[in-house]
């Protein structure tokens, strides 16, 4: 994945219709080709004017270890976050997928949440609790697992945690198919989670 300026919109790792019937083709086309593309264009536009920022990777631009000039800091954070979050979301989906994790992550989820169903309830509640636009995440925080939310295009990377899984709950992610019923979208999301990827991220092999 090209992680440095100039950023390009890498293709989805599957076809636009691959997530049907859980996420519809039109939503995926708009989401990847329009919404994500806009974040990429905006991020490139800022870095075009700020050559000193081009040495930083996408993750470095949002991990708070660097401080872009105050005049463009918000712009950089929002757009780099928009690129990172969308890629993380898209790459975490797969259809068909397994309904639940099986490896070390499965044992960790059982240990920290009590059971997979309890984790699912916790994650769903978090996704539904996001007021307006944002994301819900499963993250690894040292040896712990946690479910967290982020507003707009903020990311949990700023808190020194490792994301394992996320759901985009901006309305553009689901409105064409699920209309105003975010809960139905979250249910469909659980049908297409790439648990093997989340497990690989958890185990540090990815």
What is the binding site for Mn ion (CB under 5 A)?
168, 170, 173
* DSSP code per residue over 126-165: HHHH--SSEEEEEEEETTEEEEEEEETT--GGGGT-EEEE
DSSP state of 115: S
Q: Which is nearer to Mn ion, 62 or 173 (CB)?
A: 173
Q: Which helix (H) or strand (E) holds 49?
A: helix 37-49
Nearest approach, Cβ of residue 158 and Mn ion (Å): 19
Q: Which is nearer to Mn ion, 105 or 193 (CB)?
A: 193
Q: Which is nearer to Mn ion, 5 or 90 (CB)?
A: 90
Q: Which is nearer to Mn ion, 38 or 95 (CB)?
A: 38
Helix (H, G, I), strand (E, B) or coil at 110: helix
Nearest approach, Cβ of residue 134 and Mn ion (Å): 10
Nearest approach, Cβ of residue 37 and Mn ion (Å): 11
Nearest approach, Cβ of residue 89 and Mn ion (Å): 7
Q: Which residue is nearest to Mn ion (CB)?
A: 168
Q: Which is nearer to Mn ion, 46 or 83 (CB)?
A: 83
Nearest approach, Cβ of residue 133 and Mn ion (Å): 8
Nearest approach, Cβ of residue 23 and Mn ion (Å): 11
CA-nearest of 47, 46, 53, 51 to 67 is 53
Q: Is 99 exposed, middle or buried (0-12, 13-18, 19+ CB in 10 A)?
A: exposed
Q: Which is nearer to Mn ion, 188 or 196 (CB)?
A: 188
Instruction: Give the dihedral of Cα atoms 129, 135, 141, 147; nearest 10 deg.
Output: 30
Cα distance between residue 70 and residue 103, in whole Å = 44
Are 184 and 86 a contacting pair, CB within 8 Å?
no
Q: Is 7 exposed, middle or buried (0-12, 13-18, 19+ CB in 10 A)?
A: buried
């Amino acid at each position: 994945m090209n992680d440095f300026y100039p950023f390009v919109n890498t293709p989805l790792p599957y076809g636009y219709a691959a997530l049907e019937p859980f996420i519809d083709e039109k939503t995926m086309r708009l989401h990847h080709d329009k919404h994500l593309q806009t974040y990429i264009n905006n991020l490139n536009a800022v870095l075009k004017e700020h050559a000193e920022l081009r040495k930083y990777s996408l993750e470095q631009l949002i991990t708070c270890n660097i401080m872009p000039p105050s005049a463009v800091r918000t712009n950089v954070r929002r757009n780099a976050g928009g690129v990172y979050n969308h890629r993380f979301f898209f790459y975490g989906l797969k259809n068909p997928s397994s309904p639940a994790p099986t490896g070390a992550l499965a044992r960790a989820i059982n240990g920290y949440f009590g059971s997979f169903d309890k984790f699912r309830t916790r994650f769903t509640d978090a996704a539904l609790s996001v007021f307006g636009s944002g994301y819900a995440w499963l993250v690894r925080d040292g040896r712990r697992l946690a479910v967290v939310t982020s507003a707009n295009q903020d990311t949990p990377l700023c808190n020194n945690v490792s994301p394992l899984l996320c759901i985009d709950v901006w309305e553009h992610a689901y409105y064409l198919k699920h209309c105003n019923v975010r809960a139905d979208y979250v249910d469909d999301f659980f049908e297409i989670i790439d648990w093997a990827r989340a497990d690989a991220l958890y185990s540090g092999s990815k």
